[in-house]
Amino acid sequence: MFFGLWLISAIIGYQTQFFVGETLLLFLPAMLGMTLLGFWDDNLDLPVFKRLAIQFILAFVFILVLMGLEILDPAKNPVFSILGLFYAILGLLGIVWSTNLYNFMDGMDGLATIEALFVLGIGGFICYQHEAVELSLLSFIMMISLAGFLVWNWPKASVFMGDVGSYCLGCLISLLAIVSYWQYEVSIVFWLILYGLFWFDATLTLLRRFFLRKNIMEPHRDAGFHRLLQAGYSQQQLLCGVIVINTMLAFLACYADYNPEYRMVCFVLSIIVLTLVSLWIERRQPLLKDA
């Protein structure tokens, strides 16, 4: 399992002093907790609310350790205490949402693996540019592990990610985004653009299911890639499309990072691209209300 390879490699890097272990120790409790929760869910099919409760606890501990109790101390900065609490809440929600949306989108051979390769590869590179060397190393270690995993996960897959892998990757991406923003000023907009394919489709699908009065908690096949499979496209064709779209998003994300004055322009362009893709999917396989 790629989490095991990532963990072993990170520990070896720490033991050999290849990088300082503070970042690893910050990431490890949440990563290990989410991965074990995924294993538990894979085997026992946990109730939704119990699963969410554990995820929120793990996310809360991470945010508390990262930001510290000073975010609530008005004596240090009256404005910062309010903003710090706001950021903490957003971070808490972001970790839980990313973990679940990755699990939500892991429904086709190779899809979640390719998404992670793009996000971790480009994200790790930008972290390195911002002198967040440890974050980039943790990203690249996971990316290398996933590259090997993709050999067997490419359609038709012989190994599968499961809840263990999807919880792990969704959690890792959110932690990288939060820590790189909090400690190294990597814009959240950069991560939103880069991660756009997954969060946009997952959020749009759940909102549409809600307005169509479908149960948003139950498993379904309403995501964009599900509907394209129903329309007759092969998994290989869809993965090629994912690579093309992610390449465009990666370009916009990097441009936004290097040119902060155009950051929101790049974000809007990414939303336009993703909206056009969603409209194209809708023309080929509309999302219908259950009979």
pLDDT tens per residue across span 31-47 = 999 999 998 888 887 88
Tokens of 233: 């496209």
Question: What pLDDT does residue 175 have?
Answer: 95
* Model confidence pLDDT, tens digit, residues 144-179: 999 989 989 898 888 888 889 999 999 999 999 999
Question: What pLDDT does residue 200 have?
Answer: 95
Q: Are 269 and 252 in contact (CB under 8 A)?
A: yes
The arithmetic mean of pLDDT across residues 57-77, rounded, is: 72
d(CA 124, CA 135): 7
Query: DSSP labels for 5-61?
Result: HHHHHHHHHHHTTSS-SHHHHHHHHHHHHHHHHHHHHHHH---HHHHHHHHHHHHHH
- Residues 104-107: contacts with CB under 8 Å, at least 24 apart: 104/202, 104/206, 104/223, 105/166, 105/198, 105/201, 105/202, 105/223, 105/225, 106/161, 106/165, 106/166, 107/221, 107/223, 107/225, 107/226
The arithmetic mean of pLDDT across residues 274-290, rounded, is: 87
The arithmetic mean of pLDDT across residues 202-211, rounded, is: 88
CA–centroid distance for 280 within its chain:
24
The arithmetic mean of pLDDT across residues 188-192, rounded, is: 96
Question: What pLDDT does residue 19 have?
Answer: 61
The structural domains of the chain, with segments of one domain joined by +, span 1-186, 187-291
Buried b (16+ CB within 10 A) or exposed e, 264-275: eebbebbeebbe
Task: Please state, rounded to an integer, the average pLDDT across all residues of the chain.
Answer: 87
Question: What pLDDT does residue 244 have?
Answer: 96
* Model confidence pLDDT, tens digit, residues 252-271: 999 999 999 999 999 999 99
